Amino acid sequence: MLVECYDERGAEVYEIIIKQIFQDLVLGSAVDDLRAYVNPDDPVFVLAIKMRKTSNAIRFNEVANLTYDKANDKTVIIIDNENYLPNILKELWKRFSRDEIYQPNRYQLEISGDYAELGSIIVDNPQTNLQRRVYDAVFRILPEGFKNIKDLSTEDIVTVVATDELIKDAWIEKAHEFIDELNSGK
């Protein structure tokens, strides 16, 4: 972790704030490295966080069995891993009304019609979940009042430039420097 600031005490305070927020959100082990640039004279805050790799996305057919019952014209879904049931229901509710999904018991769902293609739907994406948690941390770390925010994030690096003024090109360049440093592992 590197916090750049002309004021050494200010850098120490921000490092403490960042560590505390990461601890509160249980993000310490999910983040590889972090770069921050703070300049109260300019009012700017640049933050770049490199996330660790996560497991692969979980598809519907990895946690449930889908079969089409031709005689009754319905798709029967048997849940193999109950931990994913809330995610499965959430995805189904995006596509169907709650009334269209019949749940005769805890591990079974039924939908009228042939919906075998549901098997390829992603029901859990750990990378997206981690990214969401990192953005939560970012918005807790940013100074209050810094409403002008430029998101320069890449696939595994969340990067933002924040200020209460117009965003300067130099600050965007600083953010890109941080991205390059984090990608090269320096």
List the chain domain ranges.
2-54+126-184, 58-124
Q: Mean pLDDT throughout 115-130? A: 92
Nearest to 45 by CA among 156, 135, 167: 167
Q: Can you give the pLDDT at residue 85? A: 93
Paired with 148 in beta bridges are 163
For the chain, first and last CA: distance in Å? Answer: 11
**d(C-alpha 167, C-alpha 122), whole Å:** 37
Q: How many CA atoms lie within 13 A of 21 on its CB side?
A: 17
Average pLDDT estimate for 123-149: 93
When pLDDT is averaged across residues 73-78 and rounded to a whole number, the result is 94
Q: What band does 185 get if pLDDT is binned at 50, 70 and 90?
A: confident
pLDDT at 31: 92
Query: Measured between alpha carbons, how far is residue 141 from residues 17, 102, 144 in Å?
Result: 7, 44, 9
What percent of the chain has pLDDT above 70?
A: 99
What is the model's pLDDT at position 186? Answer: 65
Residue 111 sits at φ, ψ, to 5 deg, of -135, 130
Q: Which CATH fold topology does 2-54+126-184 show?
A: top7, de novo designed protein (3.30.1710)
The CA distance from 83 to 92, in Å, is 16
Q: State the amino acid at position 135 in one-letter form.
A: Y
Look up the pTM and report it. Answer: 0.79
Q: 185: helix, coil or strand?
A: coil
- Give the contacts of 125 (CB within 8 A, at least 6 positions apart): 57, 58
